[in-house]
Structure 1
């Protein structure tokens, strides 16, 4: 069987034109090198060298093996270098899963500088894990989970990124516009616009209306943030989103924030990773950069 050391031997002998010099460069004794050659020739049942005076000349079979060495050894060296970089955390693949539907505008602010800082890291955002991404993280289908609702597991770590407030967003002529806050009961006559998510995963249901047994007059689901905000601007309904989305879109849409209840609904965004990956440089760099891209909490 041809092994890597055989390829290195034949390449080194051809380069040095001397078994002694080749043995020194390969950190082998000359007898060990000679033994490896004889054993390989016996196994292959073919001569790889012939002696011509003081020099070793490759046979046709030896030339074939040398060609293989020239092709294979650089690939091995390249992959060994990459594996060392993986071990040091300087190269790899970063797959991000989202459980925060409106967070894509924030994520773009993180990924843009990150891609420049880590050019050897392949980055991918897994949209199919917008919701229910915990299993994907545990099963190594994603490397990072961005979520406002972490579920504590012994082999996972959730790092807080920033605080925000979940608020109601209304249009310019909506009667709630100038109120300091609204009550759950006031939502009973409203059309609520949300992403296509189960109601129990929506904060306005689980933390605001459901405890009071209140339901909106109508619940309409829309997939994109821009369409939701266009509908709100044109008084086709109201929506509940992070307050920073109002700040980010106030130049594009005429929309206004209203506090949900007197105390509001404070939230936190988290980044979840596997504990085994905590020391991986490029993962930690993403988390640290994410913490720098935050938004004000207050309305």
Structure 2
């Protein structure tokens, strides 16, 4: 089988049609160049050049083979360049696990920042609940998971990438929707409050229970997903405490009010990944995560 060196020697000689100039261009002397061409012709089984003491010309077969040789070299160089970009993390693929409401505002920014740091990277996004994200992370099916709670595991590293306040979602038909001010948690006394599932939405259940610990509310249905909860709020089936980002969903019939007390009750989002992840793209991803961490904004103001 012919070699890439033989093909390069052939293509350069086909361009120059002069052994001395071609050898100079290839940084070699004429004898090694002649041997490369002879070996290539022997491998192919036909003559590439008509040569005599006065000139060097391509044969008909040599002229036809030239375009194919150039294609082969071009493909080889493109493949090498792509492999190099993958090796240094500027190309390749990264797999991300998300929950729909947990990262809805942040996902576009993550993808935009990745485009800056590693424009050749393809991003594969898998939507799944937190426990499934962690399982996928541990078995290597995803590179990064975005979760509310960081599991206690020596195998995992994490970084806080977002925090936001908990706000009250209220039907626009509810009496508390009349005012545009922040609510006191005491105003929820006796109200139907939609609750989170203690199994599938443990993080939110614990957070909301801590905020409502000093008032007596009337628990309603147990919900897992925030968007499902907002649908019930729109139907005036209860009040819900949700992350501030849920106010960006544009759910008709729902208004959002800040909660005066419990400012420390932040809803947090963490990026989690395996400490031993060897995907070269993780270098660029880590830079993006550090940028997000350093840019965590102050508490947003409810409009």
Matched, 1:180 2:175: no
The 5 Å alignment of 1:180-219 reads 180=185, 190-192=193-195, 199-206=199-206, 216-219=219-222
User: 1:228 Cα deviation (Å)?
Assistant: 3.9
User: 1:158 Cα deviation (Å)?
Assistant: 1.3
Q: Could you tell me which residue of structure 2 aligns to residue 287 of structure 1?
A: 289
Give unmatched runs, 5+ long, in structure 2.
none
Q: Could you tell me which residue of structure 2 aligns to residue 81 of structure 1?
A: 81
> Contact conserved, 2:117 with 2:284, CA < 8 A, in 1?
yes
Q: Could you tell me which residue of structure 2 aligns to residue 63 of structure 1?
A: 63
User: 1:69 Cα deviation (Å)?
Assistant: 1.5
Task: Output the aligned Cα RMSD.
Answer: 4.3
Q: CA 1:14–1:111 in 2, change beyond 3 Å: closer, same or farther?
A: same
Q: Could you tell me which residue of structure 2 aligns to residue 126 of structure 1?
A: 125
Q: Secondary structure at the match of 2:158?
A: strand
User: 1:250 Cα deviation (Å)?
Assistant: 10
Q: Secondary structure at the match of 1:101?
A: coil
> Contact conserved, 2:169 with 2:242, CA < 8 A, in 1?
yes
> Contact conserved, 2:89 with 2:118, CA < 8 A, in 1?
no
Q: Could you tell me which residue of structure 1 aligns to residue 23 of structure 2?
A: 23
User: 1:14 Cα deviation (Å)?
Assistant: 0.8
Work out the number of aligned pairs and report it.
288
CA deviations over 1:239-296 (Å, ceiling 9, x no partner): 342234348869984223448x968644432123454358855323422443325451
Residues in 2 aligned to 1:141 and 1:262: alpha-carbon distance in whole angstroms:
38
> Contact conserved, 2:171 with 2:253, CA < 8 A, in 1?
no
Residues in 2 aligned to 1:253 and 1:125: alpha-carbon distance in whole angstroms:
33
Q: CA 1:125–1:200 in 2, change beyond 3 Å: closer, same or farther?
A: same
CA deviations over 1:147-200 (Å, ceiling 9, x no partner): 2222355554312223334455344536799443699x978x6444x6xx8834
> Contact conserved, 2:166 with 2:258, CA < 8 A, in 1?
no
Q: Secondary structure at the match of 2:40?
A: helix
Q: Could you tell me which residue of structure 2 aligns to residue 41 of structure 1?
A: 41
> Contact conserved, 1:94 with 1:122, CA < 8 A, in 2?
yes
Matched, 1:239 2:224: no
Residues in 1 aligned to 2:271 and 2:169: alpha-carbon distance in whole angstroms:
26
Give unmatched runs, 5+ long, in structure 1.
none
Q: Secondary structure at the match of 1:255?
A: strand
Residues in 2 aligned to 1:105 and 1:133: alpha-carbon distance in whole angstroms:
19
Q: Secondary structure at the match of 2:161?
A: strand
> Contact conserved, 1:161 with 1:294, CA < 8 A, in 2?
no
TM-score by length of 2: 0.71
